[in-house]
Amino acid sequence: MASTSELYDDLVDEWRKGTLLASCSAQLSWDEQTYLPPGGVSHRSEQLSLLAGMVHDRFTSPHLGELISELEQHGDLGEADGPRRANLREARRRYDRATKLPKKLVEEMSRVTSLAQHNWVEARKKSNFETFRPWLEKVVGLKREEAAALGNGSGVPYDALLDDYEPGAKTADVAGVFAGLRKDLVPLVQAIHNSKTKPNASILTRRYPKDAQRTFARAAASAIGFRFDEGRLDESAHPFCSGIGPGDCRLTTRYDERHFPGAFFGVLHEAGHGIYEQGLDRSAYGTPIGDAASLGVHESQSRMWENFVGRSRAFWTQFYPQAQTTFPEALNGVGADDFYAAVNDVRPSFIRVEADEVTYNLHIMIRFEMEQRLIAGDLKPAEVPAAWNAAYTASLGITPPDDAQGCLQDVHWSAGLLGYFPTYALGNMYAAQLFETARKALGDLDALFAKGDFTPLREWLNAHVHRYGRQFPPSRLVERITGQPLSHRPLVSHLKTKFEAIYRL
């Protein structure tokens, strides 16, 4: 009989091979969304489908299952919280999940979503939901099959999809946390709306040349710690970050010369994801715990750098003089305080990725509720535009004028990422708790940011969040760092402190 060490090494070796294969799919997907000629979409969908089946075979092999079982029965893998035990725990969780999914379903999901994403790009350009509707119907149908195959004993199909992005999370628990957040957000939104103080947001819609935006955003991403010798920045229809593997992390954004915040804060957001990817333990790459803890924790990093840092007064103490030099015409005669107020303007908006900190979570709640209905079968894909517009009217008091600014704005559903959206709001809450704890540990972060010194925060996050990967479940990781379970209160406290000052409430 093989020793525990031999069994463990075999498990890790098998898992690494599967991870390497999956990274090939990630690179092809990145290429599809950046440089692939339109005529190659159909061929790419077949490539990705084939690779998805091969990856599925790797992660559902009987040999892998036998290794996991033997180690569970006989393996002495050290301390309960150690990386070896955590690798076994994660391997079991992910193996059990993968083996419930038929290979044909996995391959079809990959093929359909590849084609659906291309169709979404075209439908969004034309603002025509009807051309995308057949693809959404296919994707939703496949995700319902996936949820049914996975099951989880809760009787809530959406739980199975949510668990893929936020392990251990339950729909009811997330809904409960969101309810508390909404209750505290609505009065703040109303108070801001009633305030006589109104930032001049038109500053941000002057002309900001694309090339200058690219240079300025890249410099800011580098300053906060994204390493461009191990990454790159490109353009895509929807911003994203793709961690291909150690030393290769790709960011994308999109530029609008008449809207400065979109690309700039989009780059900071994706750079936050990239800093997490670059901070993972390289020696753990390819093992079950070598990935980020969850999408919620991942989003905590992007939202922290985008908002808690990038929209702070201290950040612009350092960067506003550079912005004036880079955009002399747009910012001529604009004071630093006026610019700071403009990038923190709060008002209901149609586009989620361009939403302010206060109303952003309402966008997520709309999608969270709609996804549950789609998976439960209570909402048909054909009914999405009307349901979307009604939800925006009810929650934000505005009605999207067209599909591009409404239900076609996000790439996620075309990519099959139902269950993903709640992690954005969870990430905001995680970010607030982590940032609050970092302040206590590091002292005056504002003074550091004002000098352009972001290294202490980045290194603190590297040490307490990034390097652990999936060694700890997400909720436990955050509680381990902050000493508190997930709560919406630190986020609300941050928002009230910041925006009561800006709006003189």
For the CA atoms of the chain, what is the radius of gyration?
A: 23
Question: Which one is catalytic: 14, 90, 270, 306?
Answer: 270
**Signed CA dihedral, 162, 163, 166, 172: sign only:** positive
DSSP assignment string, 1-48: ---HHHHHHHHHHHHHHHHHHHHHHHHHHHHHHHT--GGGHHHHHHHH
Contacts of 459 (CB under 8 A, 6+ apart): none
Cβ atoms of 352 and 363 closer than 8 Å? yes
From the list 23, 12, 20, the residue with the least C-alpha distance to 249 is 23
Tokens of 425: 């709001």
Cβ atoms of 392 and 406 closer than 8 Å? yes
Give backbone dihedrals phi and psi of 312, rounded to 5 degrees, phi first: -85, 155
Cβ atoms of 59 and 95 closer than 8 Å? yes
Cβ atoms of 243 and 476 closer than 8 Å? no
CA distance 6 to 27: 32
Q: Is 79 a catalytic residue?
A: no
Residues marked active site are found at: 270
